Amino acid sequence: MFKNKILAAGLLMLFMCTAGCRSIDDGKSSSGNMGTNAGMDGSVGREEATIANVMHGGSSVHIVAAGDNMVQTGVVNSAASHAEEGGYNFGFCYEGAKDIISRGDVKIINQETLICDNEDIEISHSNRNFNSPVEVGSALIDTGFNVFSMANNHILDKGVGGLESCMTYWEKMKGNYHGLITYGVYKNEADMNNIRVCEMGGIKIAFLAYTENVNSYDYLEDSEIQVVLTSEEEKIKSQIEAAHTIADAVIVSAHWGNEDSFEVSESVKQLAQNMVDWGADVILGTHPHVPQTMEYLTRPDGTQGFVFYSLGNFISSQTYNINLIGEIAEFDIAADVDNNISVKNVQVSPVITHFEGADYEELRVIPYRDYTEELCSAHGLSQVSGVAPYNEWSMEKIKEIIDTGIPAEYQKLD
């Protein structure tokens, strides 16, 4: 079991952007990222910036969130086949979703696989043994993502050493790309207590992340690295409540639930309600690898939060039709004149992982709005899956899956 440490409120810090929240700068700067770190006593010291993005009005921030970035064999092979001089071109895989991602000020994704900054750690991309090429991270950033949830069941696929290497990789990326946030995996307790917060348009947003399990590998008994499990509810409650003392809104990423199921378990529903009652304004669910429903949840005082129970896969080379359709969620976090926070304008754009042939050729993300009968007919699902009804693929079947996972009032199909 993870070390059960009590949150020290006195150590709690926030990271917030103070430079007008401009777009991510992909150049290097000798002065480092611009930002501050404000303590609970109001003191301020220099720290790395978090978000640096375009303001979306004085009282509203537009959020875009995608599900699991599952960099499996087919994804890697497709990226390799589109690289001009060796290496990997993951930009090809993500290009189709780029304009949807660009609509957000804050753009969040669950990075499901490790990216280890160590040549001695094997690149691998199947089963419970993931380590992705370093090109994945830069491609996601180029696609527009600037906030990365790290808490998921694959974080120990390469042991504690692999996780440490992955954390080193993202620290380097934050040095090269101003404004990146990673959250959910922390180098020690003090780092965990530095709750990641961005400020734009006068609204401060905090980010927290939890995972249901870490694939039954040895836990972090002998490491200072901190990851919080969804079973550690007292710690989650403390963190959410603490986050609300330093931010206006709290976004929680929750890696939970039953894989390959549209049904949301009662335990997940109860935890979602608890998180909202404790102060979560938005919950971004991942892990089931299928799109699941979403809803507003009401607190005892009548205010509401919103939960996406599962965003499904952003990309993968899984072999069930339900795994090949995911959600890109969009919503506004709005503040009224009294700084009361609400979640508005929720909509979901379905995306499809398309590939052709038994070798997953041309694998890439394509928004549903751009998907055609011609592409549908060329899809290679029937060649890699013989399991009925999960090998069925047609425009009608795709729409059936969308209607099963995404309530009609939130569908954005054009």
- Residue 367 CA to its chain's centroid (Å): 18
Look-up of token digits 């050493």? 161
d(CA 89, CA 85): 10
Residues 92-111, buried b or exposed e (16+ Cβ, 10 A)? bbbbbbeebbeebbbbbbbb
Helix, strand counts (H, E) of the chain: 11, 19
Q: What is the DSSP string of 338-381?
A: T--EEEEEEEEEEEEEEEETTTTEEEEEEEGGG--HHHHHH--H
| Amino acid symbol at 33 | N
Q: Which of 280, 307, 285 is nearest to 295 (CA)?
A: 307
CA–CA separation, 299 and 199 (whole Å)? 25
Q: Among residues 253, 263, 266, which one has the least CA distance to residue 290?
A: 263
Distance CA 253, CA 227 (A): 13
Long-range CB pairs of 386-395, under 8 A, 24+ apart, other chains included = 387/319, 387/320, 389/321, 390/319, 390/320, 390/321, 390/322, 391/321, 392/321, 393/321, 395/371
Whose structure tokens read 């995608």? Answer: 66
Q: Which two tokens stand for residue 336?
A: 């009224």
pLDDT of residue 32: 27
Q: For 209-222, how does the pLDDT look when each residue is reduced to its tens digit (9 = 90+)?
A: 999 998 866 667 78
Residue 252's SS3 state is strand
pLDDT tens, position by position, 354-390: 999 999 999 999 999 999 999 999 999 999 999 999 9
Question: What is the residue type of 75?
Answer: V
**313-315 and 304-308 strand pairing:** unpaired
Residue 177 CA to residue 119 CA, distance in Å, equals 22
Ranges of residues in the chain with a pLDDT under 70 are: 1-58, 216-219
Residue ranges with strand state E in 185-231: 194-200, 203-211
124-126 vs 129-131, strand pairing mode: antiparallel
DSSP, res 154: T
DSSP letter (8 states) at residue 411: B
| Cβ within 8 Å of residue 203, ≥6 positions away | 59, 60, 61, 248, 249, 333, 335, 341
- Tell me phi and psi for residue 328, to 5 degrees: -110, 110
Question: What pLDDT was estimated at residue 391?
Answer: 97
- The pLDDT, as a whole number, for residue 128 is 84
Q: What are phi and psi of 254, to 5 degrees?
A: -125, 115
E strands along 106-214, which residues? 106-110, 124-126, 129-131, 147-149, 181-183, 194-200, 203-211
**Contact call for residues 62 and 200 (beta carbons, < 8 A):** no
Return the structure tokens found at 395. Answer: 């425009």
